Structure 1
Amino acid sequence: MKGQHAFYLFFVYIILQGAFRKWLFPSLGTFIYLFQFVLAFAFYFSSKPKNSLNKYEVKPAFLSLLMLYLGFAVLQMLNFRGTDIFFVQIYGLVMHFAFIPMIFHVPRVLESEEKFDKTINWLTYILIGVFTIGIIQFFSSPGSFINKYATDQEAGTYEIVLGGGGRVRIAGTFSYLATYASFLAFVLHLLLYGLFSSVIKNKFKPIFLIAYAMGFINIFMTGSRGPVGYYVITEGLTVLILLSSGQFKFLNKLIPIGISLSIVYIIIISTSAGSTALGDFMYRFQNSNDLGTRINLLPFLDDEVDLIGYGLGTAQPAMGGYLSNRNEMPLYWEVEYERITLEMGIFGYILIMILRYIVFYTCYTIAKKVKKLEFKILALQMTMFQVPFLLNLQTNIYNYIDGMFYWIAIGIVYFAYYIDLKYNAEQDKLEPTPTALYRWD
């Protein structure tokens, strides 16, 4: 199987995996979940460099930090404070590192602007189908077949009720609400790139506008305040950066871009799906006050946190039943910083956060170097996608969808830089030279 086909298969499987687990083959849930890792590694082994531009080097600074992270994680596999079942540590190691190779393999299979645009095009049609299912879920009763598994396993209640109308918080074709919200945050960045790019190239495609509007309505239907808030903020930052960069081509296209976004807004407020979703979302937002407790960049000030943690994998949601020493651990944990410090202690938390900030800074500097407007927009979209991870609002470790798209986004930043180099070289009639993915100068 070619690397490109393996990547497409992996991506589509991720989108449909929840439907397989929830509706078609619920008895095979564990196998269906684990099979995604098989497809990921099949993709890694099948994607190989085809030219000199794909054979990029990794700067020692990033490699050293990554190896330190890996080394500390391996040591944590010997920490049995939380459990004496070694499988928990193995599972934790996989969840920490399984998707990091996406950085290197994604640019190899995307290869060119034309291939990437084709990928976005066929993906958009699939997304419209997923968004349609989400809208149907929202307006279906909580007890309907399409919402059969949309319940809180522990409480036995519909945790997904939104607003005063008792409508569901949708999960789309995904197994859980949280994974769908993560997926939406990623694909909305991609769809807005597709919309902006089509306008800039004077090849406006209504399909991007329709899909983006439906996706935006879906993210309100999840009722997830964090993803909605940070998505709006990061898109605002992206536009401000483009305006401040003085890109004449972007300024020249502000009117058609503004018209496109205005149409999206009109669709949201004037359709039954959009206005109802927005109303229910605002109801939940105004009647909840726990969002601030989810942001904590200094968890080492908490009394229950210690230096070494309870061992790799102990904070993974799927491993709760294997914690043989559960009575020695804190009573409750949920958000990102609590999970990291629970597993790896203060040192592990600091190491992971330093890595995230360095990766973000590097991606931002790469995006600034990109010259062609379409590629710059793509690089900025994928860079801004990382912002919630810096604030512990999203997790690239404990939500497998987050982890997958976090590392894919970094790979796409490099891909944008690579095709920009290629484009500029063709313009100058020069042979482009490879560049490092991470620069520290």
Structure 2
Amino acid sequence: MADLEPLLRDLAPQVLSAVLRHFGDFDAAEDAVQEALLAAATRWPADGVPDNPRGWLVTVASRARIAAWRRDTARERREETVARMPAPAPGPARDDTLTLLLLCCHPALTPASQVALTLRAVGGLTTAEIARALLVPEATVAQRISRAKQSIRAAGARFTPPPPEERPARLAAVLHVLYLVFNEGYTASSGERLHRVELTAEAIRLARQVHDLLPGDGEVAGLLALMLLTDARRPARTRADGALVPLAEQDRTLWDRAAIAEGVDLVSAALTSTAVGPYQLQAAIAAVHDEAPAAADTDWRQILGLYDALDRIAPGPMVTLNRVVAVAMVHGPAAGIEALEGAGPMLEGHHRVAAVRAHLLEMAGDRAGARAAYEQAARQTLSGPERAYLRGRADQTST
């Protein structure tokens, strides 16, 4: 069964797309697909994987969907009509996968529901797997998915590509959801693990699918590049005991050079051939970090220029905070502190603000101020590895 899991996970959204397109009704279609996947997991180890596994699954899921329809007494009068309906042809899976992603990121859904439904319907994760990855109760995930399907139904959404005028906004929602999934996996917002590899891997896999579907879209390429360039550092980001290692102290020989090369190629091509967008700029910043042989070789002036551009087209609290660090690295800690204070209330309340303030105060030689800020950041974060790191920095500044 373990050998079949990757294949079934890849095929699940394609089969769901085909059944959903043909029959409609998200809930019933997903139930039918789950039956087909269970049948495959039971029969294929003994019978062998069929020559057309996707077609096999579509056929079995379609039969299950028709059988369920027959059991619905309220629809008995439709039984004969439905029974004559042919099973959907496998057809081109690529377009269906994108349509399914766009449906899961429907504007009627909250971001949390979009994430849960995307991981379930497109990622093929079970409710329990999503709950473990997001560190929320399984019942909460099930409720989010159920409400998401109800909201899609209430909005009258159909399994068709959105009209051209809606497509840019819907695609932006898809990219934002994949970005949220990746970020939660790369730095878990709570818990005792820094990384949730199942989420970063899933986000990269889905971003690759979207890039395959839309190879000429610069922001899709930028997002995939950003994920690859960031995830390439993961092997050096924690010690054997799980303790966090900051970027400047990482062993760069452990970085994934193949992922870095692929990410650099992607963002370089996008920046030279498409309109510049925020994901491309973030990927370019990541590339500057990754291409530096050592932390001391980092081209901070280039990074500051990229953050200036990013702040113009996609301003936000984290952009502002990261730009503050770049200002300090180029113009000194006093300039960074001044920029941080000038950011105002938009940055209040997040533990990373206190962590950056602590770093800048430590750079400026204010050890007492740095210690207090590190302690504040440690109290505010919900991440165990980050809390341990920040307390360690506080201890070091007191000696």
Band of TM-score, shorter chain: under 0.3
Question: When the two structures are superposed, what TM-score results if normalisation uses the length of structure 2?
Answer: 0.27
Higher relative contact order (CA closer than 8 Å, sequence separation 6+):
1
Higher share in helix: 2
Question: When the two structures are superposed, what TM-score results if normalisation uses the length of structure 1?
Answer: 0.25
User: In terms of Rg, which structure is larger?
Assistant: 2
